[in-house]
Structures are given as C-alpha cells and as structure tokens.
Amino acid sequence: MLRSDSGTDIRLLHIDGLRHVHKISVHTESAQGDIVVDVEQSINGDVLNVYVTLNKDFPIKAPLITTTTGQVLRCTPAGTEWNPQLTVLAEAVNEALTHLKELWGRIRPPSMMSLKKDLDGLSDDLLLDIVENPTCLETFAYQLPLCKAMREEALAVLRQLETVAEGNRQLIEAVNAARRDVHSGASALQENVKVLQGQQVKALIEASSKERIIQQFTRASRGIQQKCDDVERQCVSLDPSASEFRKSVEQLREQYLAQRIQFHDHELRRRAFAASDKQ
C-alpha cells in the first residue's frame, strides 16, 4: 500500500479529489485491501454509474473501472497507456464515463435509480391488482404452473440445443480428423508418385542406352531368324504330291523373303549402331 509523506493512504487523496468532481454514493474496502468506489454522474440528463476499484498498487497500477454489468471501461484515451505520474483518478473516471457514453450511443443507459424505480413500479402495480381485483391472486396462482411448465419446456429445448451443439462439435472434430488423414494420404501419394517417376526415368535412361539398344536389335534378329527357320521346316515338310503343293510353296517363299528382308534390315541397323558406338 502506497502512502503519502504524511502517512495517509495515497488512494484516499485521489478519492478526495474525485469527490469534488463526481458524486460518490458508495465507498467500500474489500477484504483483499481493494477500495471500491461507486461513482454516479449525470451527462446530458442521463445518469451513468461506474465502479472504480483501486488496489494496493494504485497509482502505479491503473484503476479498474467497470459498468454495473461488469464490463471493463478504458480509463485512458484510446491508444495511450496509464501513466501514474501524469494521470489522476478524476481524469481516468471522466475518460471511462466518456467511453460508457460512446458505448450507449443514442440509447438512454439504465441507472441504479431508474432500475429501482421500474422495479418499485412493477411491485406497486402487482399489489394494486391484487387489492382491486379479488380474482387477480387466483389468476396468478393459476398462471404459475403454466409458467413453470413453459420454463421446463424451455429448459428441455435448451438441453436439446446443447446436445445438437455437442454433436456438431464432435462432427467437426471428425471432419477435421478426416481432413488431416486425407492431407497425409495425399502427401504420401505425392511421395510415391515422385518415387515412381524417378524409377520410370531411370528405366527410360537404361532402355535408351546404346548397349540396351544393341541388345534389343540382337534379340529382334534372333526372333526373325527363328521365324525363317520355322518357314524352312514347314517347306520341307510339305507333300510334293499334294494338289496345293505349289501354292503352299509360293506362300511359304513369300513369308520367308519378307522375314529375311526384315532380318537383314535389323542386322544392318544393329551393325551401324554398333559401329557408331565405337567411333
């Protein structure tokens, strides 16, 4: 707790200065040593109430100024911070009241006095109805179970809404988990595609090498030679006395010539490629 040179709580000095500017209706001190001041101010016919809480570190620490509903108000102009050497409590309260007025805008804010007046008026109207109308109390008693049933129904609907909200929350979590699984699966798929692409490129490089091309030409030539040998065996196995002998021989000869031409073509290609590889 900070004290002045005379030993007085410095917070009391600030409160005395505040008393000259605003109306202080309540002045209490909490068990934690915090001083709470209820400030009432009339601005343009509107009565505004704020609570100012001064802890033990005031004025080093800024005061906590709240509305009657607990909303925290700023105590310094927007964009500035509390400066214990330059700002006094009265200025902080004025800034908080200005902030509260800005929050309400054109709407007339409620005050403790207006709320008390409204509640007193409702109570008086209720008592007047009971006195002037003998059946009024009976009507209220009749309406009480109905109001209770309506309240229970509202609570049941609220519980249903909470159940739906919980279901939506679980569904959102499941969707997020599925989205993460899809993302991880897509990442793994991309990695596999990269690996396969690398393997394909490697296979293409191997297939396009000169040694591999020469081997392919050699295998192709052997295959064609095998077909030529098959044609020769078919020709030898023909029966000269058959009626279709000449026709069959002519067909086999054409097949043989076509295969030999293809064989020589592959051989020329293979030898040319092999010769270019040696240069």
Q: Whole-angstrom Cα distance, residue 40 to residue 215?
A: 103
Give the number of C-alpha atoms closer than 13 A to the C-alpha of residue 177, restricted to the C-beta side: 6
Exposure string over 217-242, b if 16+ CB within 10 A, otherwise e: beebbeebeebbeebeeeeeeeeeee
Taking the alpha carbons at both ends of the chain, their separation in whole angstroms is 100
Query: Which two structure tokens, joined as six digits, stand for 78?
Result: 């927007």
Among residues 25, 27, 44, the alpha carbon closest in space to that of 36 is found at 27
User: Which is more confident, 67 or 42?
Assistant: 67
Res 198: pLDDT: 74
Task: Inform me whether the pLDDT recorded for 42 exceeds 80.
Answer: no
Among residues 119, 113, 115, 121, the alpha carbon closest in space to that of 25 is found at 113
Task: Inform me whether the pLDDT recorded for 247 exceeds 60.
Answer: yes
Q: Whole-angstrom Cα distance, residue 24 to residue 35?
A: 13
Q: What percent of the chain has pLDDT over 90?
A: 0
DSSP state of 73: E
Cβ atoms of 37 and 24 within 8 Å: the answer is yes
- Tell me the mean pLDDT in the region 249-260: 82
Give the number of C-alpha atoms closer than 13 A to the C-alpha of residue 220, restricted to the C-beta side: 18
Res 37: pLDDT: 84
pLDDT digits (tens, 9 = 90+) for 111-144: 666 667 777 776 777 677 767 776 766 777 777 7
Res 197: pLDDT: 76
Cβ atoms of 89 and 17 within 8 Å: the answer is yes
Cβ atoms of 93 and 75 within 8 Å: the answer is yes
Q: Whole-angstrom Cα distance, residue 49 to residue 101?
A: 11
Res 275: pLDDT: 73
Q: Give the sheet arrangement for strand 64-67, strand by strand.
A: 23-29, 35-43, 46-54, 64-67, 72-73
- Tell me the mean pLDDT in the region 223-241: 80
pLDDT digits (tens, 9 = 90+) for 187-202: 888 888 888 877 776 6
So what CATH class is 10-114? alpha beta
Res 7: pLDDT: 44
pLDDT digits (tens, 9 = 90+) for 160-219: 888 888 888 888 888 888 888 888 888 888 888 888 877 776 666 655 566 777 777 778
User: Which is more confident, 250 or 200?
Assistant: 250
Cβ atoms of 77 and 64 within 8 Å: the answer is no
Average of per-residue pLDDT values in the chain: 77
**3-class SS of residue 109:** coil
Band (pLDDT 50/70/90 cuts) for residue 49 is: confident
- Give φ, ψ of 252 to 5 degrees: -65, -35
Q: Whole-angstrom Cα distance, residue 150 to residue 278?
A: 101
Task: Inform me whether the pLDDT recorded for 279 exceeds 60.
Answer: no
Res 46: pLDDT: 66
Res 128: pLDDT: 73
DSSP state of 110: P
Q: Whole-angstrom Cα distance, residue 132 to residue 112?
A: 30
- Tell me the mean pLDDT in the region 50-56: 84
Q: Whole-angstrom Cα distance, residue 209 to residue 211?
A: 6
Domain boundaries defined on the chain: 10-114, 134-204, 209-278
pLDDT digits (tens, 9 = 90+) for 11-40: 788 788 878 877 877 666 666 778 888 888
Distance between alpha carbon 222 and the CA centroid of its chain, in Å? 67
Query: Which two structure tokens, joined as six digits, stand for 22?
Result: 């605003």
